[in-house]
Amino acid sequence: MLSLQSPDFHHGDVIPIVHTCEGKDASPALSWSGIPGGTRSLALIVDDPDAPDPRAPKTTWVHWVLYNIPPDAGGLPEGAHKADLPTGTLEGRNDWKRAGYGGPCPPIGKHRYFFKLYALDTVLPPRGGLTKVELEKAMEGHVLARVELVGTYQKRGGS
């Protein structure tokens, strides 16, 4: 069974400040296992469905989009930048309109951050810069398995 974990936080726990806009804005280390047979690539989407206010969410804010991750990669290091990504991995665009990880930075309240890993039966076309919506459309009919790791974050002194 596909699993996703981080040495930096457990499912449902608070994401450490180093991985947020109040810290170094470094992506957490991630590791995965249980890749199903027939997997040709992996995709990772990190988003926040509680934006801007968890009491009245209006949008899902996208923090990170990666795809065409080789199935034998095993994970990503803390603070992963383009040069640290497994060979062949492509970066999509987050909601800051740029590639790469953008950590939690909620304007108000305690937000949930979903790290979603997908095992795909295909390698997607080598077009970089896909948005979450474009990636989800490209993945349709190709998802063999999916797993989520959820962390939370609230700014210091945030209500």
Please confirm whether the linkage preceding 52 is cis (ω < 30° from 0).
yes
d(CA 121, CA 108): 39
pLDDT of residue 158: 58
Residues 71 and 91 sit within 8 Å (Cβ to Cβ): no
Regarding the domain delimited by 3-153, which CATH topology (the fold level of the hierarchy) does it fall under?
A: Phosphatidylethanolamine-binding Protein (3.90.280)
pLDDT of residue 129: 93
Could you count the other beta carbons within 10 Å of the beta carbon of residue 1?
7
What length does the chain have?
159
Beta bridge partners of 91: 66
pLDDT of residue 128: 82
pLDDT averaged over every residue in the chain: 96
d(CA 119, CA 122): 9
Q: Domain ranges in the chain?
A: 3-153
Task: Express each pLDDT in 14-46 by its tens digit.
Answer: 999 999 999 999 999 999 999 999 999 999 999
Asked if pLDDT for residue 120 goes beyond 70, the answer is: yes
Query: Quick check: helix, strand or coil at residue 18?
Result: helix
Rounded to 5°, angle at Cα 93 from 90 and 99: 65
Band (159; pLDDT cuts 50, 70, 90): low
Residues 114 and 46 sit within 8 Å (Cβ to Cβ): yes
Band (88; pLDDT cuts 50, 70, 90): very high
Query: Quick check: helix, strand or coil at residue 77?
Result: coil
pLDDT of residue 156: 86
Could you count the other beta carbons within 10 Å of the beta carbon of residue 25?
16
Task: Express each pLDDT in 57-78 by its tens digit.
Answer: 999 999 999 999 999 999 999 9
Distance of CA 53 to CAs 12, 32, 115, 127, 150, Å? 19, 31, 19, 33, 17
